[in-house]
């Protein structure tokens, strides 16, 4: 007999184009196959992923909060949303949403409280770069981490770091991200069109760097590596990248909704992050399009890349440039084989269907 679909209420800080937001969206869009019926509540309004979720007829609402401005009224609003959705499980995503979900659940009668799973999506955040508020929020989460039924992390590095930060949950589970390999795939037509649109040579070497402008992403090392390789063109994709310093071999594209097509146009995907990454989605997404990865050794990057690309030390522009030079210097036969291995690794190790089933299995084990 088919079990009753699990009603899941996802609570997330926002629905922009970040890694956590993209993963939530992919999970929501494939929930039915794993026996889950989702509802989504965002703390802040708007976001490109909100439109994608609504287009799939999944209920989406927001609490009207503004980033950086606490609003005690949001606790009551979220409690009303919980009552309306009657979820079996409430899954929160990232620190702010974790705390708000815990507070809202506490206001409900015990018989109306769903099981709560916190979501941790990062590893070793350098909180000195972000002011005292983030440090206080992480400390509060650590102290309260035994309150939810489980804490779910998307990386082994994230679990280890948060144990060091004092997290002591009843259950600490790792569910690595899954990649929609139908959406992220080799696409020769998109490759040709995007290169023509961007004014790139059909046979030129193109790197894709997909990350918002933020201290953790260390765009400076990426730019310094490009300076050493004038024959290579680098794409900078993400919020704020349109304001990066100009380079002759840099295309500053800003936030984009056509990332799968841009990755298909690239030869390699690059991550220059200095800290903080848990499971860097862009590496797996790029590999799924057939773009081998060159990444810094942050979070679970080395586990994702395996032997299909190169891993270098963080904050080492010279090492990053050397790794790029090594892979771009391979002959066409070796490069074609490497592209195929990168795609095959994501298909076999990080399929989205497996991740969705892992979420569902964890949720059912909590009921």
Same domain assignment for residues 13 and 148: yes
Assess if residue 1 is contained within a domain: no
Assess if residue 265 is contained within a domain: yes
Same domain assignment for residues 233 and 221: yes
CATH, residue 163: 3.40.50.2000
The confidence score (pLDDT) of residue 101 equals: 98
Same domain assignment for residues 34 and 155: yes
Per-residue pLDDT of the chain (367 residues; tens, 9 = 90+): 567 899 999 999 999 999 999 999 999 999 999 999 999 999 999 999 999 999 999 999 999 998 766 788 999 999 999 999 999 999 999 999 999 999 999 999 999 999 999 999 999 888 788 888 899 999 999 999 999 999 999 999 999 999 999 999 999 999 999 999 999 999 999 999 999 999 999 999 999 999 999 999 999 999 999 999 999 999 999 999 999 999 999 999 999 999 999 999 999 999 999 999 999 999 999 999 999 999 999 999 999 999 999 999 999 999 999 999 999 999 999 999 999 999 999 999 999 999 999 999 999 999 9
The confidence score (pLDDT) of residue 1 equals: 56
The confidence score (pLDDT) of residue 215 equals: 95
Same domain assignment for residues 127 and 210: no
- Over the chain, what HEC string results? CCCCCEEEEEEECCCCCCHHHHHHHHHHHCCHHHCEEEEEEECCCCCHHHHHHHHCCCCEEECCCECCECCCHHHHHHHHHHHHHCCCEEEEECHHHHHHHHHHHHCCCHHHCCEEEEEECECCCCHHHCCHHHHHHHHHHHHHCCCCCEEEECCHHHHHHHHHCCCCCCCEEECCCCECCCCCCCCHHHHHHHHHHHCCCCCCCEEEEECCCCHHHCHHHHHHHHHCCCCCEEEEECCCHHHCCCCCCEEEEECCCCHHHHHHCCCEEEECCCCCECCCHHHHHHHHCCCCEEEECCCCHHHHHCCCCEEECCCCHHHHHHHHHHHHCCCHHHHHHHHHHHHHHHHHHCEHHHHHHHHHHHHHHHC
Total domains in the fold of the chain: 2
The confidence score (pLDDT) of residue 70 equals: 72
Same domain assignment for residues 328 and 355: no
Assess if residue 133 is contained within a domain: yes
Whole-model pTM over 0.85 = yes
Assess if residue 136 is contained within a domain: yes
Assess if residue 183 is contained within a domain: no
Q: Which domain holds residue 158?
A: 6-178+351-366
Same domain assignment for residues 163 and 198: no
Same domain assignment for residues 209 and 274: yes
Same domain assignment for residues 148 and 204: no
Assess if residue 78 is contained within a domain: yes
Same domain assignment for residues 192 and 295: yes
Same domain assignment for residues 342 and 359: no
Assess if residue 56 is contained within a domain: yes
Same domain assignment for residues 355 and 329: no
Same domain assignment for residues 203 and 65: no
């Amino acid at each position: 007999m088919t079990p009753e679909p699990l009603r899941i209420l996802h609570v997330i800080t926002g629905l922009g184009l970040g890694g956590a937001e993209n993963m939530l969206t992919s999970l929501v869009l494939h929930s039915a196959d794993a026996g889950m019926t989702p509802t989504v509540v965002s703390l802040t309004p708007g976001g490109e992923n909100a439109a994608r979720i609504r287009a799939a007829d999944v209920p989406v609402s927001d609490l009207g909060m503004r980033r950086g401005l606490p609003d005690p009224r949001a606790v009551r609003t979220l409690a009303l949303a919980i009552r309306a959705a009657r979820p079996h499980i409430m899954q929160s995503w990232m620190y702010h949403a974790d705390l708000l979900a815990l507070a809202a659940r506490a206001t409900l009668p015990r018989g109306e409280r769903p099981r709560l799973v916190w979501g941790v999506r990062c590893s070793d955040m350098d909180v000195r770069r972000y002011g005292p508020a983030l440090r206080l929020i992480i400390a509060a989460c650590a102290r309260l981490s035994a309150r939810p039924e489980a804490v779910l992390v998307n990386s082994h590095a994230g679990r280890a770091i948060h144990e060091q930060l004092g997290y002591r949950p009843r259950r600490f589970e790792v569910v690595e991200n899954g990649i929609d390999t139908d959406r992220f795939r080799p696409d020769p037509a998109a490759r040709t069109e995007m290169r023509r649109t961007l004014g790139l040579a059909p046979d030129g070497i193109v790197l894709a760097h997909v990350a918002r402008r933020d201290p953790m992403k260390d765009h400076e090392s990426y730019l310094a590596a490009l300076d050493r390789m004038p024959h290579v063109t680098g794409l900078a994709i993400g919020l704020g990248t349109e304001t990066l310093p100009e380079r002759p071999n840099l295309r500053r594209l800003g936030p984009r909704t056509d990332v799968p097509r841009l990755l298909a146009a690239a030869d390699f995907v690059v991550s220059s992050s200095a800290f903080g990454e848990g499971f860097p989605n862009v590496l797996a997404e790029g590999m799924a399009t057939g773009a081998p990865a060159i990444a810094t050794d942050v979070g679970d990057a080395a586990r994702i890349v395996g032997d299909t690309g190169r891993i270098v030390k963080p904050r080492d522009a010279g090492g990053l440039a050397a790794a790029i030079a090594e892979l771009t210097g391979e002959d066409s036969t070796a490069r074609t084989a490497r592209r195929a291995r990168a795609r095959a690794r994501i298909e076999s190790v990080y399929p989205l269907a497996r991740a969705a089933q892992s979420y569902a299995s964890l949720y059912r084990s909590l009921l």
